[in-house]
Amino acid sequence: MTTIPNSITRFAKQAKSLPLDRIIRPSEFHVDHLSKDALIPEDDETITPSNFGTLLDYLTRYILLGDINAFDLPNIELKRYLDAGLISSDYFDEIMDKEKSLEPLVEKAANIDEIPDEVFNIGLDICAWEIAFRSGTYRKPVNYPNQITIENLKLMLKRIEMFFWKYGRPSVTAFTASTKNGYLSGDGDYLLSHTIIDLKASNKTTMQPYWVRQLLLYYTLGFYNHFNDRVIKRLMIYNARVDTVFYINVSKIDKSVFEFVNDAAEKQSLVNEKLINQVNGLE
């Protein structure tokens, strides 16, 4: 069965829907290297790149930003599984207890280097439910972070802390972008006062076309179409693995680009609605 591109993450991967000659190219982004020869190899890490990025995001929200709502999405999916009888109440309580155990573990650490290994393992258990929320399927973690993975996560957390020091601390730790009918949507990472930031932990050292599409979709479906009432002046990627910032000012992008992105997303969203209704037997 073909995967329905009902999320911004999935739709951004469809290059034919948003060709670079109709939007903007990666080369149009400014680049700020925060340190030299900064690539952190992922060769000896023991969790997948996807799980690494999700875990890094959650650790950033919970440890660096003190976001009390950091685990909302995993908890929503956990509750859905509980209500459907797919997990026991004992297992539900076990995950809730793990979440509660994080606070004293983090508070005892005087700095990032002192965060105990247990935090990273618990974090991965919780992140698995966020991944389930987005993918529709829960997969219990098979591999947990080894010492190299943990040290790499700590180093990137320190880099993110310095990035926030230079560019500003996020005022919002999650925002929603959506089409009119809601059948194509996504949750963005962070907002500074007037900047959208998407956090990466990629071994790519240059701005990627996929990231360009992501940023344009987050901005267009989140702010250009007034889904959120906030003025955004800059679109930004921070890739912690290479300690590099890529950004472009919204004023440098022609309005026709946002109109094209919005039209393409709205058309896909109507297709998604029809496909999903067919799958659910509503058409």
| DSSP states along 143-196 | S---HHHHHHHHHHHHHHHHHHHHH---SBS-EEEE-SSSSSEEEE-EE-SSEE
For residues 130-145, give the mean pLDDT. Answer: 88
For residues 224-253, give the mean pLDDT. Answer: 95
Q: Given a cut of 80, is residue 5 above it in pLDDT? A: no
Give the other-Cβ count within 10 Å of 34's Cβ.
17
**Same domain (yes/no): 69, 7:** no
**Same domain (yes/no): 35, 175:** yes
**Same domain (yes/no): 138, 188:** no
Q: Which helix (H) or strand (E) holds 236?
A: strand 234-239
Instruction: Please provide residue 236's backbone torsions phi and psi, each rounded to the nearest 5 degrees.
Output: -145, 140
From the centroid of its chain, how far is CA 237? 11
**Same domain (yes/no): 31, 73:** no
CA distances from 76 to 66, 127, 134, 243, 280 (A): 20, 12, 11, 33, 21
**Same domain (yes/no): 195, 276:** yes
Residue keyed to tokens 């073909």: 2
Which of 128, 145, 162 is the last residue in one of the domains?
Answer: 145
- Of the candidates 213, 231, 235, the one whose C-alpha atom is nearest the C-alpha of residue 223 is 231
**Same domain (yes/no): 126, 201:** no
DSSP 7: B
**Same domain (yes/no): 71, 133:** yes
Does residue 150 lie in a domain region? no
**Same domain (yes/no): 189, 265:** yes
DSSP 4: P
Report residue 15 as tokens.
């290059």
Identify any residues that bridge with 216 across adjacent strands, giving them in sequence order: none
Does residue 165 lie in a domain region? no
C-alpha–C-alpha distance, residues 62 and 115, integer Å:
12
Say what the pLDDT of residue 110 is: 85
Can you give the residue range of the structural domain that contains 7? 1-41+170-283
Say what the pLDDT of residue 282 is: 67
Mean pLDDT of the chain: 93
Specify the number of domains making up the chain.
2
Residues in the chain, overall count: 283
For residues 212-237, give the mean pLDDT. Answer: 94
Say what the pLDDT of residue 64 is: 93
Question: What does pTM read for this prediction?
Answer: 0.93
Q: Given a cut of 50, is residue 1 above it in pLDDT? A: no
**Same domain (yes/no): 107, 201:** no
Does residue 98 lie in a domain region? yes
User: Which position has the higher pLDDT, 261 or 130?
Assistant: 261
